Amino acid sequence: MGAAGSKLEKALGDQFPEGERYFGLENFGNTCYCNSVLQALYFCAPFREQLLEYYANSKNIGDAEENLLTCLADLFTQISSQKKKTGVIAPKRFVQRLKKQNELFRSYMHQDAHEFLNFLLNELVDILEKEAQAVKSETETSSPPEKTANGPKHAQANGVSKEPLVTWVHKNFQGILTNETRCLQCETVTARDETFFDLSLDIEQNSSITSCLKNFSSTETLNAEDKFFCDKCCSLQEAQKRMKIKKPPHILVIHLKRFKYIEQLGRYKKLSYRVVFPLELKLSNTVEDADIEYSLFAVVVHVGSGPNHGHYVSLVKSHNHWLFFDDENVEMIDESAVQTFFGSAQEYSSNTDHGYILFYESIGASNNKS
């Protein structure tokens, strides 16, 4: 990487961002799925800042038990505190911990980057929630006995514990979807909210993220065997159902469903469809109907023609420059090169590098309300 690193430094010259580090990650035998997602998360500025802050604070507490969160924080701290501006780092402890934690990632087989991202974010949330719970229990047990014995205080503490904890992972990635079902008999609308860390979108040939999002929120009629049980009518009725975004996340992660199970083949097939993803995205299928603007800052790309083999790389926007991360290698790319990862307009194409997970950050402070 020495030569490549110095090449990158030369390419950026005096435009090399102050205090920034561009490090490739060593591959430990098919761990590109992990490396590509870690690079996208490292260049998710609010997530990185809060993770480094968490690490700095937890170091003061003493020797915390090693877990996936401490390993990730340790890796990000290692990268950000390097004396050199470019180079290669081996995420050995993190990968070992990941394999120890989840047998799914133990084999040397080709893994799914989206599954890994999902597992990682949920695992981080679990760790943060357990830590908050432990701190809460400590403060409760260390309070004076007469206060603990006091009935109403205790009831209140129990009430509060039922409130879901909002961690900094939630504040960055969590959005809320609302599932609206309208009974066509009595017109009653039943709404059910659900949280999400990413949106998984079905894709079509020669489409765009905007059209995929429109399809995601399109109205579906429930009839025949799919009738809806309406509480007001107390019977099964025809209904209309649609999904809308009630609370858009600060960081919008979009997963393109490129791997589809084909019944006739009895296996999964990779869809190489051309799906245009813009550098600036307007999210319009929200409950408030207010357009929320997002800016693309990272893309995890799947390279290969099938679902069970291939490679992952990532494209990252950092300080208005686009960079290409391929395990140990890091190079600068032109912004116009991003469109070469949209997919193929023809079914059989020599281009097998397709955008798979997209990371967008909301523009403007209106979305930063926690």
Closest CA to 259 of 268, 246, 250: 268
Block residue for tokens 């995420």: 91
Residue 182 and residue 189 in contact, taking contact as beta carbons nearer than 8 Å: yes
The verdict on whether 32 is a catalytic residue reads: yes
Q: How far apart are CA 20 and CA 236, in angstroms?
A: 59
Q: Which is the catalytic residue, given 170, 302, 311, 354?
A: 311
Task: Report the run of H or E that residue 36 belongs to, with start and end.
Answer: helix 32-42
* Residues near 338 by beta carbon (within 8 Å), at least 6 away in sequence: 279, 296, 299, 315, 322
Q: How far apart are CA 277 and CA 275, in angstroms?
A: 6
The verdict on whether 311 is a catalytic residue reads: yes
Torsion angle, alpha carbons of 353, 359, 364, 367, to 10: 150
Closest CA to 248 of 191, 295, 291: 291
Q: How far apart are CA 222 and CA 225, in angstroms?
A: 8
Closest CA to 255 of 102, 49, 37: 37
Block residue for tokens 């059989």: 348
Block residue for tokens 């999902």: 118
Q: How far apart are CA 84 and CA 19, in angstroms?
A: 10
Task: Report the run of H or E that residue 357 belongs to, with start and end.
Answer: strand 353-362
Closest CA to 168 of 50, 250, 247: 50
Residue 308 and residue 302 in contact, taking contact as beta carbons nearer than 8 Å: no
Angle at 29 between CA 28 and CA 30, to 5 degrees: 115
Q: How far apart are CA 215 and CA 201, in angstroms?
A: 9
Q: Which is the catalytic residue, given 32, 34, 44, 230?
A: 32
Q: Which of the residues are catalytic?
A: 32, 311
